Every structure is written in C-alpha cells, then in structure tokens.
Structure 1
C-alpha cells in the first residue's frame, strides 16, 4: 500500500512537472509569436497611424476602454459627457465674454471621442481663427502642420476641417513605431525650449502628464500667424502668464461694454495642477484619469479618459483608505465651495464692467481713472477666467484656485471703486 501511494505521489509530481514544462514552452512560444506578430503589426500601425481603430486591432483591451466614453452619458455634478449649455448654467458668462464667440455659444466639452464632431457643429463665430482651432482635435493635425508649416494655423477653418475626420486618438500620445509616449504637438516642445528645458529628458512619469499638457493648457494665437502658442516664458502661474502678455502688449479683444482690452484663458489644467498636493506627491494626470484596471488576465491603463469620480475604486483607493462614498463626498464638498466662490468672482467682475461703462458715459468723468479701472478689470477678469476655464471645478489645486479667485474679487472691487471715483470727479 505504501509503495502504491508513493507511486501515485510520484506520478502526480511528474505529471505536474510535465504540465509545467508544456505550459512554459507554450507561454514562451506564444510570447515569441506575439512579439514577432507585433513587429509585423507595427508596420500596419505606422502605415495607418492616424486611424486609432487600426491600433485597436493589436491593442484590443485598450481600444475597448478607449471607446467606453462613447457608450453612454457620464455626468458628474460639475461636468461629464453630456452637452451642457454653460451660458444657461452661468448666465453672467454672456456679459463677461461679450464680444467673443463664447458669449454667443458655450457648451461644456464632451470626451475626446467627440472632438471632431463637436467642433464642426459649433457656431461659425467660434471658428474664425482658422486651422488653429483644430490644433488639439484630430490625429491628422501633426501631419497637416508638417505639410503646411505655420500656414496651417491661419488657413480657413472650413478648408482644414475637410481634411480631418479622426478625433483625438492613439497617435496623439504614442509613437507609431515604438508605442512609447511622445509629444506630437509643437507648441509644447517650443514652450519648453523657450524656458531652456529639453522635453526629451522627461521621465516616463512626467510624460504621463506631459502628453496631456499638449492640449490641457492655456494658449493664445499669435496676432500675425495665428500660431498656437503657450505663454509660459515667465512661468506657469496666472500672474506670471499675465506678466508675459503685458510684456508683449497682447490683447485678444476689446470688451464692448467697458472698452477694456481683454485677455482670454483656456483650460490651464496642467498649469494649475503644478504645485498641487497630488502633483507634489509625484502623481501624474494618468494615475487618476487613466487608472490601471484588470481586463481578463491583463492589467492595462484605462484609456477611457474620464473623471476619477467614475473610477474611484481604481483611481483613488490605491492611495486613500477612505471608502468611495466618503471620497466622493469630499470631492463634491471641495467643488461646491469652489463653485460658490467662482460665481461670486464672476458676478463681481460683471459689476466692474457696469461701473466702468457708467463712468465712461458720464460727461466730465476723469478719463485717467477710467483707464486705471479698465486695467484693473483686465487683471481681475483674467484671474477669474484662469480658474473658471480649468477643468475639475477647483479640485486640481483648490488652494491656488481659491487664491486667484480672491485676487480676482479684490481687483474687481478696486476697478469698481476707481470707476466710481472717476464719475465723482464730474460733479
């Protein structure tokens, strides 16, 4: 009996060893075949790199997550994948943005998946800049910039729009040859160069934010060429960017009510994130917005690009030990407080516009003081706009957002007082 038991035990061990060897051989062979296949497949991707669906053939799990955002509306308390009319939600925007396309039509942006579709559907008054408006909307843009050079930015929007059809996708962030993260838009590279930095020296973790910084930043169009440019030469903070614009004497439009020479901020998400609690701890954009997920037997970085509110289990609880409900309540509490201050600052700037308008219409008002009031309004609305246009409703950096909103309110009150003083001089 003992010998029989020993024979059975040895048989089990041998069988396990054989199965293990077979599995190892199969795995190695399968991996070799997979790697060989990838080399062949890489050529197909290189030949069709603008078509994300081709990448999807060889990275099906990433492709499945990429398309997640197109399946259903994903609304959060202050954003989401549905088309929200911001002019209805925040009526004071009509006054603050008067004289621009944003004052006529302004919708909450949807996901990357809809980038080309949505920009083609907006009011033509919003696309008068030209090809520059497509800079971050389609995978064809890097090729078009290479083809036309800087002339791309000033070419008629309708002409350039006909040449794009693939929304933000794989090749915008990944090298078609190696699949490594890459910077495909020249504006970011040039901004680094002007600061004396070499973006090719960025670490992989830094790149997991920099690929986002190609587009999720503020920018302006140069007056003559309309070239998309990042105003970072003096730094990445609201007051540093303001100093840059003052130095080059740049004005985007003149407000029709106050006659103030205005500046326009555009979603400075990367800039506001710098110095935040999360960024200082080494967290990258992708850690929260593209968390690692399990799909079958694979672990991948989700390419859904959604609010972490939808993926808290993966995005937040890897570091935070509170439950998801408690974390969500914390997020919404931060955003609620931010939204309240944001509206106070916005409405205070409206009062500044009205005060300057009244002063300018008053016979004998002090013109020098009116000009001072306009300069204060230029600064106050810039500070507000910097925070208002950033995504995340203050969550990316609540302390810095609150600081600049506080500055905006203070400057707006100074503009009001100066305008009233200008009117008083007429009496």
Structure 2
C-alpha cells in the first residue's frame, strides 16, 4: 500500500516537473523567436532624413527613451540636467573668459534632446546681446558649431538638395588633408565640400537652410537634437561615427578610417567612439575643417594634459592657431577648452578595464525578451543600480558617497585653482598699470603701449595661458573629475602651481624695471552676474540653495 502511494506521488511530481520544463522550454523558444526578429527594420530609413520619428518606427522602445529626455530635469551635486547658470555658481569664470562669449552666458546643459535648442537659445549665439555686453566686435557664431549640436549633419553632407543651397561645385577641390571623406571614392569630395562650406557660413544661415527643408518645429524639424543617424547606420543600425573632425583626428593618431563605421573598431570600442566624436576639445581650423588637437596623443595611450601644451605651442608658433581669444584684462593669448570628456575618460580605471561611455550613461535594460540599451542618455546618478551595480557590489549609498568624495575633492582643488589664477590676473593688471607709467612705455600711443607691455610680460602671460588651460579643462569637463580622478587631480594641482609660478615670473620681470609689487595671495573674486531675463523657463536660473550650500561646505572642508 505504501509503495503504491509512493509511486503515485513520484508520478504526480514527475508530471508536474515535466509540465514545468515544457513551459520553460516553450517560453525560452518564444523569447528566442522574439530576439530572432530583432531588430525589425520594417520602415526604410536613410541619412537624408534623420527625423527620429521615422527611425523610431522600427525601434519604439529606444524612441520612447529618447523622447523622454524632453521632460527630464533633475539636480545632482555637480551634474544632472537642470540648466542653471554656471556663471552664477562659479563667478570667477566671468573673469577667466573675459574677451570671449562664454563670460556672458554659460549654463548647465540639458539632455541630448536639447542639444540643438540650447545652442540656438544661448546668448553666446545672440550677436546683438553680445555686442551690447562687452563684445562689440562679435559677428555671430560660425557653422562649425552645427557639427555636434544637430542631428541633421548626415543629411547636410549626403542630401543633394543641400548641394544646391550650399552651391557645392563637384569640380572644386577642398584643402583638407585626409580622413573621413577620402575613403568614399564616389561621393567623398562632394561631401567634403558640403561640410567645409557648412562650417564656414554663419550659424543661423545653416539653421535657416535646415528649416527650409525640414521645418521649423523643435521636435522633428530644424531644431532636431541628437538623432539616431548620429550613431547608427541606416541599413542595419550598426554603430558608427559620423563626425568628420573625429575621424580625421583618429586617422592622424594612427587609426584606420572605414567607409561604413567611420573608424575600424570593435563594437565595444564603438560604444566609446560614438560619444567621443562630440565630447572633446576642438577648435575651428584654417580651411573650414573642425580640428581635434590630438596629434600629440599617441594611439592606444591615455591622454595627458602636457599633450595639449605641446600641440597648442606648436600651432601657435607656426601660425596655424594662435588663440581662441585675447584676454580682455591681461592681453594673454587664451585657449578655450570645450568639453574634453573623451580625453579625461581615457585616463581612468574604467577605460583601462574596458568600461565604455555607453555602459554608464546608457545602461542595458530588459524589455520583454529583449535586452536593449537605454536611450535616455543621462548621468549615472539617475539609476545607480543599472549604471554602477552591474560591476560594483556596494550599496547605492556607498557608491554615491564614493562619487561625492571624488567630485567634492575636485571642487575643492578647483576652488584653489580659481584663487591662484585670479591672483595672477590681478597682479598682471597691477603690473600693466605700473609699466604704463615707466619711462620705457609712458610716451607710446595706447595701442603701441599695450603691445609693448605685452611683449615685456610675455613669459607671465604665457603662464596665464598655461594655467588657464588647466582650469578650463578641469572646469568645462562635465564629470567634475569623476571620469579620471587621478589625472583631474594632477591637472588642478598644476593649475595652482603654474599660476603661482606666473606670479614669480611677473615679479622678476618687474624687477628689471625697478618696480616691486605685493603679490596677491588671496584673490578678490567677482560677484555672481545677474540673471539674463531673455532666457526662458529654467534656463540660466540661479543655482539652488542646496548647490550653493554644497559649495560652501566644500570650501570649508580639508581634503589634504
């Protein structure tokens, strides 16, 4: 009797187990079938129409993620997507950028949906406003800025309609040396000419051209921000790079160009490159090409700030690029750093471990049977679990504390850099005033006197330029040190020491003229600027009380 009962129980359990296994295998098979049909390219897309609504018909999940960036505004201690005025939070920048548009308006960027809108709306792109606020010679931004601030770049370079508007003549020959276009034997020269002409015409003329073809609206028209076509090939959605400046720079570093991908690379490498093509330092070159100053950065090596020193010294001396602007107070020849995330990230343990930009800023998520990359591109702070805990087993609180320590320490050192750099500027101003009274300079005409004093102070002015490069790199790089903590700390340390060395150089120079001044130790920093009322909504609003308190806490904290 007992055996019969036992056999019955075993039989029932076996049936249940068999049914469970059948259900499991059926579910696995269903999911494999779903994955087999992904991606499903039902709607034909092309580079000539980068409208994300069209591309999104094939990829609704990624499309929904991208569109979600329109309504995401959140604050982190040093990042987030709330577009407050960075000049109000760090008013010393208004002194450091005097003579350049960034001293007038510089805000925390919103997410990639707004990359074009933010560029259009900033006062740095408002000729009349800048002319009335200390930059009377400003003629408006050139088309160079379109390169990374619009999703329409692939259309401008590939659509024959733009050839007519840009008056591209296939028989012309551009002066670019190598790179992105030379690998496309059929259309390379035409695309090269379209790109260089776009770079050279005024910014708003480019946007008017786009609006005439694609419409005025801020969603799929001329204000289209980052788009699918920027990073994906329309044939199969494989990753690629589309920005010519990046490919040209990589080729000069020793990488190989590729017709389809832009650069020959593994898929893992492309998960860095698609971001690196814009999040870099760059400047407008002589022949209407956008230049990344990377020729001193060896292939497959981490970046070092001295590579920029060597590069910018060389192009200064050979006359290819002297400066972004002359400092309004000191007359130093200044370099404006843009947003060198790629350079700093290359120095990090994340880069050495093969962790890419996409891993942290676009982490994977599961949608039904499919694992997809999140296309709401934002700070890892927005989802620590997805962005960080796939590798780090600590709690979210522990990870946030680690981030906080790195960024607060960076902020502390950057404040010290601010003080020393501002002190150097104050002392150069004092020196200029004293030299203007000296017999060697007093009798000269104003313009001649200014040039003569600049020549006398050239070594101190060069120290100003060198210290500024380090402050600007550390300040304008958007991770606030997190992308490469060791190199960031080295850069801010050098900023502090180079600025002090500049003061010593200045004192020695003045001694030759029998002039002594008391070198500034504690600088007098400017007050925050007033809010620009022409801005809309949250743009250029004052930083929150929470952020200002973080800054006060950092100033009073000892990280030594």
Q: Distance in 1 between matches of 2:416 and 2:32?
A: 63
Residue of structure 2 equivalent to 1:395: 482
Kindly indicate whether the alpha-carbon contact (under 8 Å) linking 1:52 and 1:169 is maintained by their aligned counterparts in 2: yes
Pick the aligned partner of 1:286 from 350, 355, 358.
358
Q: Does 1:189 align with 2:247?
A: yes
Partner of 1:234: 296
User: In the alignment, what sits opposite 2:187?
Assistant: none
Deviation at residue 122 of structure 1 after TM alignment: 1.3
What's 1:38 paired with? 40
Which structure would you say has the larger RCO, counting Cα contacts within 8 Å and 6 or more residues apart? 2
**Correspondence for 2:533:** none
Matches within 5 A, 1:65-214: 65-123=65-123, 124-125=126-127, 128-146=140-158, 147=163, 148-162=194-208, 163=210, 164-199=222-257, 200-214=263-277
Q: CA offset at residue 193 of structure 1?
A: 1.3
Name 1:382's counterpart in structure 2: 469
| Alpha-carbon offset, residue 129 of structure 1 | 3.2
Residue segments in structure 1 that go unaligned for 5+ positions in a row? none
Is the contact between residue 48 and residue 156 of structure 2 (CA under 8 Å) also seen in structure 1?
Answer: no
Query: Structure 2: how far apart are the matches of 1:302 and 1:291?
Result: 6
Q: Would the aligned equivalents of 1:173 and 1:181 in 2 still touch at CA under 8 Å?
A: yes
Equivalent residues of 1:269, 1:390 under 8 A apart: yes
Q: TM-score, normalised by structure 1?
A: 0.90
Q: C-alpha separation between the residues in 2 aligned to 1:156 and 1:264?
A: 20
> Any idea what SS the aligned residue of 2:365 has?
strand
Q: Deviations over 1:137-193 (max 9, x none)?
A: 111113324542311111111111221331102110111111000011111110011
- Note if contact 1:129-1:154 (Cα within 8 Å) is conserved in structure 2: no
Matches within 5 A, 1:39-58: 39-41=41-43, 43=44, 45-46=45-46, 49-58=49-58
- Equivalence for 2:282: 219
Q: Cα offset for 1:389?
A: 0.9
**Count, aligned residues:** 422
Alignment partner of 1:255 out of 323, 327, 331: 327
Q: Within 5 Å, which residues of 2 pair with 1:223-372?
A: 224-235=286-297, 236-249=303-316, 250=321, 251-362=323-434, 363-364=437-438, 370-372=457-459
**Do the aligned partners of 1:49 and 1:176 also contact (CA within 8 Å) in 2?**
no
Alignment CA distance shift 1:145-1:348 (3 Å)? farther
| Change over 3 Å in CA distance of 1:356–1:316 after alignment to 2 | same
Cα distance in 1 for residues equivalent to 2:512 and 2:47: 71
Q: 1:72 offset after TM fit, Å?
A: 2.9
> Once the 2 structures are TM-superposed, how far is the Cα of residue 198 of structure 1 from its aligned partner?
1.1
Change in Cα spacing, 1:179 to 1:418, as seen in structure 2 (3 Å) is same
- Deviation of the 1:374 alpha carbon: 0.5
Name the structure where helix makes up a greater proportion of residues.
Answer: 1
- The alignment's C-alpha RMSD in Å is 2.8
Kindly indicate whether the alpha-carbon contact (under 8 Å) linking 1:355 and 1:420 is maintained by their aligned counterparts in 2. Answer: no
Contact 2:50–2:155 (CA under 8 A) maintained in structure 1 = no
In structure 1, distance between residues paired with 2:467 and 2:47: 49
Gaps of 5+ in 2: 131-138, 164-193, 211-221, 258-262, 298-302, 442-452, 515-560
Q: Measured at CA, do residues 412 and 260 of structure 1 come closer, stay the same or move farther in structure 2, by a change above 3 Å?
A: same
Alignment CA distance shift 1:318-1:246 (3 Å)? same
Residue 346 of structure 1: SS of its match in structure 2? helix
Tell me if the contact between 1:369 and 1:418 (Cα under 8 Å) persists in the aligned partners.
no
User: Measured at CA, do residues 318 and 376 of structure 1 come closer, stay the same or move farther in structure 2, by a change above 3 Å?
Assistant: same
Equivalence for 2:525: none
Q: Compute the displacement of 1:312 (Å).
A: 0.7
Equivalent-residue separation in structure 1 for 2:34 and 2:464 (angstroms) = 66
Task: Report deviation, 1:314.
Answer: 1.0
Q: 1:426 aligns with which of 496, 513, 532?
A: 513
Q: CA deviation at 1:8?
A: 8.5
Structure 2 equivalent of residue 59 of structure 1: 59
Residue 340 to residue 48, structure 1, CA distance change in 2 (3 Å): same
CA contact (8 A) 2:49 2:155 kept: no
